[in-house]
Amino acid sequence: MTDRQRIPSPAPSLPRVAGLVVVDKPLGWTSHDVVSRMRRLAGTRKVGHAGTLDPAASGVLVVGVEKATKLLTYVTGTNKTYRASIRLGAATVTDDAEGDVTRTAAPERLAALTDDAVLAAVAELTGEIQQVPSAVSAIKVDGQRSYARVRKGEDVELPARPVTVHEFTVHGISREPSDAEPTAVDVDATVTCSSGTYIRALARDLGEALGVGGHLTALRRTRVGSFTLEQSHTLDELTEQVRAGGTVSTLAIDDAARGLFPVRELAAREATDLSHGRRIAAARVHPGGASQANGAASRSGVGAGDTESAGDAAAPGSKGPEGSRAGLPVACFAPDGTLVALAEDRGPADRRYTTSVLGIAAGMTFTDATASEESGAQAPGAGQDGTTRTERTRH
């Protein structure tokens, strides 16, 4: 039996849930390896990931399934947190432990290196900085990946680019060997940074700043936006879920969007128009930051047409180390909680309108239950508790 045959797939009768799966990527696996496994476990080819993790790194890899792959671009752009181990005293060609050592520091130089000096150099690498990506990164140079050029023996010099290191906290500094003149100084740290920051480049630059060389020896990603290790599942856990007759644990696309974007609750007519690609009235910004348009109350208790900041301070896009929601589209929901589209406001100040930039539930009609009741018909899905719900029909 081949490895592929040993990996279960969900029964054809089970629904393929569109959503995000937070995977704890194991060491030695590429991000594409994880996607290949998830295609089998989810029973669909439509699977992608947000933010590559090298084989030598482990931790949070956010995987999108079915329509939720449309959200991955926005997940990729969120800030990330890592637990990193950095070795000072040796530089390598790859800026990590996988590459050949290019130079080492003299033991007496390392013996003179104080903890205060390390902490001062770390402080200089915190905040908004200009970073030269590692030469073995996937950045393209004249149409070819930088790492491919390095493997061919080429000297690759990439331009510096702005990144933000929100946190660079040192948890421990140790020396090897501890009972003699050191040949290496190990730094254990947590780094929270903007998308596009290379932790191995931070290790390299820390070593360069101290004049002893440095490289990354271990890396574990603990957070991508609001998605953390505590929410993650190992591939073995996901495999057992499917083998037991179920489906993989998935954060539904509606819930994922509420955690990633500002939210606007729509009336049924607005939801129908947006679903069919038509413009709708822009939300009116009220004091206090809430945005409002006319419409029925949604089942969440927020008025239809309202815009609310979804999630807590740890949500991706919120202010602080997790990022800013400024510039993000708005997740627009029908009264029954269906994610209709990601949208943004356009037009001059006196004629603003909202238009879809990414359709999710396309070509659907949303009928307000109360409208059916007023015409004398009991609306399917209308609750006895007075809750307004909608029925959906596809043309």
Residue 114 has pLDDT above 90, yes or no: yes
Categorize the per-residue pLDDT at 65 as very low, low, confident or very high, splitting at 50, 70 and 90: very high
Burial class (CB in 10 A: 0-12, 13-18, 19+), 279: middle
Q: Which sequence positions are flagged as catalytic? A: 54
pLDDT digits (tens, 9 = 90+) for 195-215: 999 999 999 999 999 999 999
Q: Report the pLDDT value the prediction gives residue 47, as an integer from 0 to 100.
A: 97
pLDDT digits (tens, 9 = 90+) for 170-194: 999 999 887 778 899 999 999 999 9
Q: Give the mean model confidence (pLDDT) for residues 335-342.
A: 94
Q: Give the mean model confidence (pLDDT) for residues 56-75.
A: 95
Residue 289 has pLDDT above 90, yes or no: no
Q: Give the mean model confidence (pLDDT) for residues 372-394.
A: 45
Q: Report the pLDDT value the prediction gives residue 269, as an integer from 0 to 100.
A: 95
103 neighbors 59 (Cβ within 8 angstroms):
no
Q: Report the pLDDT value the prediction gives residue 387, as an integer from 0 to 100.
A: 37
Q: Report the pLDDT value the prediction gives residue 332, as an integer from 0 to 100.
A: 95
177 neighbors 197 (Cβ within 8 angstroms):
no
Q: Report the pLDDT value the prediction gives residue 323, as an integer from 0 to 100.
A: 54
pTM, 2 dp: 0.81
Residue 295 has pLDDT above 70, yes or no: no
pLDDT digits (tens, 9 = 90+) for 83-107: 999 999 999 988 999 989 999 999 9
